[in-house]
Structure 1
Amino acid sequence: MRINTKYFGEIEINQEEVIHFPQGIPGFLEKKDFILLSFEENGLFQVLQSTETIDPAFVVVNPFLFVKDYEFKLDDTTIEQLKIKQENDVLVLAIMTVKDPLATSTANLQAPIVINQNQKLAKQYITGNTKYTSKEKIFKQTSNTEGEK
């Protein structure tokens, strides 16, 4: 299947890799099918690209790589909707707002994308956890005073 993408032009994708969002994504409820594309081999950043149109195409990142104590609990309804059987079925990604310079970019940790990798089902899950924001700075900058004696 050939699709047009925002960052990679026209590409060939495998239909079996398409991730279905039964309820769409907030703000894009009519868009149900997406694919994950990597910017580079083993790169930190990926694109969650609509298979239907060029937009939306979200830059996403694994939040656990940046926020070591990141956690939230999925409700039973979401577990059932996504047909999750075990924890390692789940891939969690955060939608980024990419800024210049890159170090000032933010990620939405309050509403991550939760994907059942086996079933290819996903949803944007609103955690309700006020510990995180929708514009969380994930590139924590160390202050000049840290480490000084």
Structure 2
Amino acid sequence: MNIETKFLGTVEIQEQDILTFTAGLPGFPDAQKFVLLPLDADLPLVVLQSIEQQELSFILAYPFAFKKDYAFDINEDEKIDLQIEQEEDVIAYAILTLKETFQESTMNLLAPVIVNTVKKLGKQIVLQDSTSYPLRHPIGSMEGSAD
């Protein structure tokens, strides 16, 4: 099926690639169906695009490519919500806020987007026990930054 996207125009997606965010995303509780679209083969970035609302789209980064020591635990309730059976079934992303230059852009390390790639479920979680991660961490100042 074809969808209209905010950043990439018309894109063909497969039904099996649709992710369900049963609680929506913070601030967007009614948007529950999304798809991950590749953005740039040279960067660890993807687009999280709503298939219900063309204008609702986020640039996500694989945070471990920029901050190798990034780590957090997913609590039991979230594991149940996401139907996580094995750690290998899960991938974490961080929402980016793009600035004039990529190095000035920021990454939300406090509220990662978790995707169960097997069950096709997603959820943005707010890390309760990890105040060391900021909401807006500059990419250019991250340890182990990718060039």
Say what the alpha-carbon RMSD is for the aligned residues: 1.4
1:33-44 aligned at under 5 Å gives the runs 33-41=33-41, 43-44=43-44
User: Aligned partners of 2:142, 2:91: CA distance in 1, in Å?
Assistant: 26
Matched-pair contact (CA < 8 Å) for 2:67–2:142: no
Matched-pair contact (CA < 8 Å) for 2:66–2:142: no
Alignment gaps of 5+ in structure 1: 143-149
Matched-pair contact (CA < 8 Å) for 2:106–2:138: yes
Partner of 1:103: 103
Partner of 2:12: 12
Amino-acid identity (%): 37
1:109-120 aligned at under 5 Å gives the runs 109-120=109-120
Query: Over residues 61-82 of structure 1, what are the superposed CA-to-partner deviations in whole Å (9 max), with x where a residue is unaligned?
Result: 0001111111111110000111
Letter paired with 1:81:
D
Mapped pair 1:133 → 2:122: no
**Measured at CA, do residues 17 and 42 of structure 1 come closer, stay the same or move farther in structure 2, by a change above 3 Å?**
farther
Partner of 2:45: 45
Letter paired with 1:132:
Y
User: Aligned partners of 2:95, 2:142: CA distance in 1, in Å?
Assistant: 20
Query: Over residues 34-92 of structure 1, what are the superposed CA-to-partner deviations in whole Å (9 max), with x where a residue is unaligned?
Result: 00111133532110000111121000000011111111111100001111011111100
SS at match of 2:3: strand
Query: Over residues 85-111 of structure 1, what are the superposed CA-to-partner deviations in whole Å (9 max), with x where a residue is unaligned?
Result: 111111000000000111010011000
CA offset at residue 138 of structure 1?
Answer: 2.2
User: Aligned partners of 1:36, 1:42: CA distance in 2, in Å?
Assistant: 16
CA offset at residue 9 of structure 1?
Answer: 0.9
Letter paired with 2:25:
I
Letter paired with 1:5:
T
Partner of 1:121: 121
TM-score (norm 1): 0.91
User: Aligned partners of 1:104, 1:43: CA distance in 2, in Å?
Assistant: 16
**Measured at CA, do residues 141 and 120 of structure 1 come closer, stay the same or move farther in structure 2, by a change above 3 Å?**
closer
Task: State how many pairs are aligned.
Answer: 142
**Measured at CA, do residues 50 and 70 of structure 1 come closer, stay the same or move farther in structure 2, by a change above 3 Å?**
same
User: Aligned partners of 1:132, 1:115: CA distance in 2, in Å?
Assistant: 20
Letter paired with 1:74:
I
Higher-Rg structure is: 1
SS at match of 1:139: helix
CA offset at residue 141 of structure 1?
Answer: 7.1
